[in-house]
Amino acid sequence: MSKKKPLILVTNDDGITAPGIRTLIEVMNTIGDVCVVAPDTPQSAMGHAITINDTLYCNTVKVHENEPQKEYSCSGTPVDCVKLAVNEILKRKPDLCVSGINHGSNSSINVIYSGTMSAAVEAGTIGIPSIGFSLLDYSLEADFTPCKKFIKKMALECLEKGLPKGVVLNVNFPKLKENEIKGVKVCRQADAHWVETFDKRTNPLGKDYYWLTGEFINEDKGEDTDEWALKNGYVSVVPVQFDLTAHHAIRTINSWDF
Amino acid sequence: MSKKKPLILVTNDDGITAPGIRTLIEVMNTIGDVCVVAPDTPQSAMGHAITINDTLYCNTVKVHENEPQKEYSCSGTPVDCVKLAVNEILKRKPDLCVSGINHGSNSSINVIYSGTMSAAVEAGTIGIPSIGFSLLDYSLEADFTPCKKFIKKMALECLEKGLPKGVVLNVNFPKLKENEIKGVKVCRQADAHWVETFDKRTNPLGKDYYWLTGEFINEDKGEDTDEWALKNGYVSVVPVQFDLTAHHAIRTINSWDF
């Protein structure tokens, strides 16, 4: 008697037709029964946003013929997609949730802005083993092929071993050919931040507006960070938690005069 | 010679005219020079979303006459407001950023959905001591008066002592009268999550849509959590970090076969 196939929820933040999610679906179809619930439009940098003041639409779709997975496109954010999948669409809790493959980096502080990672975190909050994948290439023509074998291995390990309670994985791939990737490093999140330069323009009606443009500042010299791993040809894996308590700071704040 | 007044950035996610932020401005005006940069519309549950595919508008406004602070309303998210304030509007880095007072709870897992807290976290990522405040009362008629003395003390302590690097504060007030509040507890984030029930309806054109409605599930019995503190009449203060690395899980994941 063969083992029951795992149920895998696939989502992303670049939208259901993005090449990154199509690659992820392809890999997951070799492992289990796949259900895709993903945004109908790009939702990059949506963080952990959810839709509470607006309606949500959700449609069954078939992006490519002859693919076995069920697919739903949703008008909401990546986190909405996970909530809708788990509570409305799927008959049982999925065995695994994978998000991505994101077009662009979600390393270091980017994890807090990332819709891809927020979807993975949301699944984690309800006890689903969950991994977010990103490739350091924003191009729609990005080559996701080198990511495939790593993704498959990681998904299988995650299904077999599970993840520690309250932990999801943030996986980033360097923009390298398969034979150039040196391996996988389990890392901490580099201590970096963004400095923004706002591009100020004037619209045809004479009103000023801005485009947000940012510069990523990494002053963390550690060789145990995701930034270091990626710069040195490794796939980075950061275990991410959503208990944000800074336990080390409780004592200090307790000394305050309230 | 008197000491230079501190520069305080005030923001929120309920929008610049919400009673909560008006109370926060009132308290901050007794401490320093205040600049308000807040969303022009409600941005609740926007998490750490930023606006990257759209333009940002920002207008100087005067919500009430005879108030000393400078005020700007912004078309973006709470995090956009902080980025715009720090990089475009303010001449120098503020000494303190306060966000709120949110109309409704941001305790426990709500911290990851909260625009109020994401604004505070964003300021924290660029090294500004920062506090998010929330009152457990969603009503627009909520009474913020009991919060005032606590907020003033916390802001003064934060200005005097600073915060540990990489830490911001998540402060929640119970819905109680001033004489009913038992005091302040420094806590950890309760281990809770949301279970959603989607309210499915049909629009006048015959198309199905959903409203997200959720139930907060707290199975954490700890007496050192924010949920416990709030239920027992205390103001909760959780030190929050934005290094999401689950350091305790690195060893486990390192044992995986990649």
Return d(Cα B37, Cα B8) in angstroms, integer: 11
Q: How far apart are CA A74 and CA B204, in angstroms?
A: 19
Task: Read off the DSSP letter of residue B225.
Answer: B
Residue A3 has pLDDT above 90, yes or no: no
Pairing of the two strands B192-202 and B208-218: antiparallel
pLDDT of B1 reads: 43
Q: A44 among the known binding-site residues?
A: yes
| B56, B163, B258: residue with CB nearest A150 | B258
Name residues whose C-beta falls within 8 Å of residue A244's C-beta, 6 or more positions apart in sequence: B111, B112, B170, B189, B238, B240, B241, B242, B244
Of A79, A197, A254, the CB nearest to B87: A197
- pLDDT-derived band at B19 (thresholds 50, 70, 90) equals very high
Average pLDDT score over residue span B62-85: 95
Mean pLDDT across the stretch B114-128?
97
Does 3.40.1210.10 match the CATH number of domain B7-190+222-254? yes
| Contact flag B191-A113 (C-beta cutoff 8 Å) | no
What SS3 class is residue B80?
helix
Q: How far is A212 from chain B (nearest CA, A)?
A: 6
User: What tokens does A42 get?
Assistant: 């790009």
Whole-number Å distance between alpha carbons of A108 and B95? 25
Q: Is B243 annotated as a binding residue?
A: no
For A169-189, the pLDDT digits (tens) are 999 999 999 999 999 999 999
Handedness of CA B55, A208, B14, B168 (dihedral sign): positive
pLDDT tens across A92-114, in order?
Answer: 999 999 999 999 999 999 999 99
| Contact indicator for B11, B81 with CB cutoff of 8 Å | yes
- Bridge-based pairing state of the strands A58-60 and A70-74: antiparallel
Question: Which residues make Cβ contacts (< 8 Å) with residue B98, sequence separation at least 6?
Answer: B8, B9, B10, B11, B24, B28, B120, B130, B131, B132, B133, B151, B155
State the pLDDT at residue A1.
43
pLDDT in tens, A6-21: 999 999 999 999 999 9
Region A68-80: what's the mean pLDDT? 96
Asked if residues A171 and A135 have their Cβ atoms less than 8 Å apart, the reply is: no
Chain A nearest CA to B22, separation (Å): 22
Confidence at residue B103, expressed as pLDDT on a 0 to 100 scale: 95
**Sequence-distant (≥ 6) Cβ neighbours of residue A65 within 8 angstroms:** none
Cβ-Cβ contacts under 8 Å, B252 against chain A: 164, 239
Residue with tokens 């507006």: A209
- Which chain A residues have a beta carbon less than 8 Å from that of B44? 52-53
Mean per-residue pLDDT over chain A, rounded: 95
**pLDDT of B72 above 60:** yes
Q: Chain B contacts of A199, Cβ < 8 Å?
A: none
H-helix or E-strand spanning residue B210: strand B208-218
pLDDT at A123 over 90: yes
What count of other Cβ atoms lies within 10 Å of the Cβ of residue A246? 23
| Of the candidates A152, A241, A125, A249, the residue with the CA atom closest to the CA atom of residue B161 | A249
**Can you tell me the distance from the alpha carbon of B228 to that of A192, in angstroms, rounded to the nearest whole number?**
34
Cβ burial A16-30 (10 Å sphere, 16+ → b, else e) = bebbbbbbbbbbbee
CA B232 to centroid of chain Cα atoms? 22
Q: Which helix H or strand E contains A211, and what residues bound it? A: strand A208-218
Q: How confident is the model at residue A2 (pLDDT cuts 50, 70, 90)?
A: low
Q: Determine if residue B137 is labeled as part of a ligand binding site.
A: no
Can you tell me the mean pLDDT for A27-46?
Answer: 96
Q: State residue A4's pLDDT score.
A: 85
What are the sequence ranges of the domains in chain A? 7-190+222-254
Eight-class DSSP state of B147: G
Residue of B nearest to A238 (CA): B245
pLDDT tens digits, B189-200: 999 999 988 999
Is cis: bond before A101, omega within 30 of 0?
yes
Q: Is the pLDDT of residue B122 over 50?
A: yes
If pLDDT is split at 50, 70 and 90, which confidence band does A53 have?
confident
ipTM (interface predicted TM): 0.94
- Which residues does chain A have within 8 Å of residue B73's beta carbon, measured at their own beta carbons? none
Task: Name A8's bridge partners.
Answer: A34, A96
CB contact under 8 A, B47 and A48: yes
